[in-house]
Amino acid sequence: MQKLSRVEKKMRRRRFFFRFLLLIILIVSMSVLALNSDFFAINNIKVTGNSKLTKDNIISASSIKLGENIFKISTKLGNENLEKLSYVKDVKIKRKFPREIIINITERKEIIQIKEISSFILVDIEGYILDIVDTENDKLPQLRGLNTEYEKIGDNIFSLEKDNMGIELIKEGQAAKLLSKFKEINMENIGDVNIKLFNGITVAFGALDNVKYKLGLLDTILKDIEKNQRPCTMIVMNKGENPFIVVDD
């Protein structure tokens, strides 16, 4: 194999250097063009996954604006801004070239409400306070007996609760699809919990032991009452191992 002379090696290095320099110039030129070209100006912001929050509120909170260059926006900053909203559980912001931004929202959902003097605290399944409103939501169960001192929107109310059994009742009730049937959960006496259902039935649930089992039993009883159209006014689960129902004569 023929060896290259010094001159040839020098020429080869020069060619490599100039090609590399031209590549850098090309990249810089294209970057400058992309950052300043109207071709990459955002003309649409698409929002998906939202139901409680409006599209306008989400876009405003993200700080992303129409007309901005798609390369100049910070998706990280947009995510951080949106995660400050109490109803936002998760968010993903994506660029869709050349001119579109897609914001995908996963929202938190209200599952219970807690009365606090003249207001109502709306809470999700993880215990986060989503909102504090003046009027009662007639579709949500009202929870009584949970610590609500010094709470504000965004706080986690479950983190202050010493009795995890009360939290278990809420979470297991939601998992069993029973929570939506509860109108009121009274846990003021944690050893003798009472539940009122939207259909008018009162449940003497008793102590919060074997919560998952007792909820499964309650579900079976309610299905039997519905199936046989029994005129039940009360389900007693705090008088021994075998629950019984009280019927309206």
Kindly state whether residues 167 and 247 are assigned to the same domain: yes
Within-domain flag for 113? no
pLDDT, tens digit, for every residue of 23-68?
777 777 666 665 667 888 999 999 999 999 999 999 999 999 999 9
The answer to whether position 147 is within a domain reads no
Does residue 135 belong to any structural domain of this protein?
Answer: no
Residue with more model confidence, 1 or 6: 6
* Predicted pLDDT at 31: 63
Q: End of a domain among 107, 128, 150? A: 107
Please give the pLDDT value at position 181: 97
DSSP the chain: -PPPPHHHHHHHHHHHHHHHHHHHHHHHHHHHHHHH-GGGB--EEEEES-SSS-HHHHHHHHT--TTSBTTTS-HHHHHHHHTTSTTEEEEEEEEETTTEEEEEEEE----EEEEETTEEEEE-TT-BEEEEESS--TTSPEEESS--TT--TT-BGGGG-S-HHHHHHHHHHHHTT-GGGEEEEE-SSTTSEEEEETTS-EEEEESSSSHHHHHHHHHHHHHHHHHHT--EEEEE-SSSSS-EEEE--
Residue 148: pLDDT over 70: no
Please indicate, yes or no, if residue 128 is contained in any of the structural domains: no
Q: Is residue 17 part of a domain?
A: yes
The residue among 112 and 10 whose pLDDT is bigger is 112
Residue 149 has pLDDT above 90, yes or no: no
Instruction: Provide the pLDDT for residue 85.
Output: 96
pLDDT for 201-227, tens place per residue? 999 999 998 999 999 999 999 999 999
Query: What's residue 104's pLDDT?
Result: 98
Claim to verify: residue 94 and residue 53 sit in the same structural domain: yes
140 or 149, which is more confident: 140
Q: Tell me whether residue 23 is in a domain.
A: yes
Is 59 found in the same domain as 21?
no
The domain boundary, picked from 88, 107, 126, lies at 107
**For residue 52, what are the domain limits?**
41-107
* pLDDT tens column, 178-200: 999 999 999 989 889 999 999 99
Instruction: Report the 10 Å Cβ neighbour count for 180.
Output: 12
Same domain, residue pair 96 and 177: no
What is the rounded CA–CA span in Å between residue 195 and residue 189? 12
- Considering the domain architecture, whether residues 211 and 241 belong to the same structural domain is answered as yes
- Does one domain contain both 20 and 46? no
Terminal CA-to-CA distance of the chain, rounded, Å?
110
Q: What is the CATH number of the domain that holds 185?
A: 3.40.50.11690
Contacts of 71 (CB under 8 A, 6+ apart): 34, 35, 40
pLDDT tens figures, 162-171:
557 789 999 9
**pLDDT surpasses 90 at 6:** no
What is the C-alpha to C-alpha distance for residues 234 and 187, in angstroms, rounded to an integer?
A: 18
Mean pLDDT over the full length of the chain: 89
Whether residues 47 and 96 share a domain: the answer is yes
Q: Is 246 helix (H, G, I), strand (E, B) or coil?
A: strand
**For residues 78-107, average pLDDT:** 96
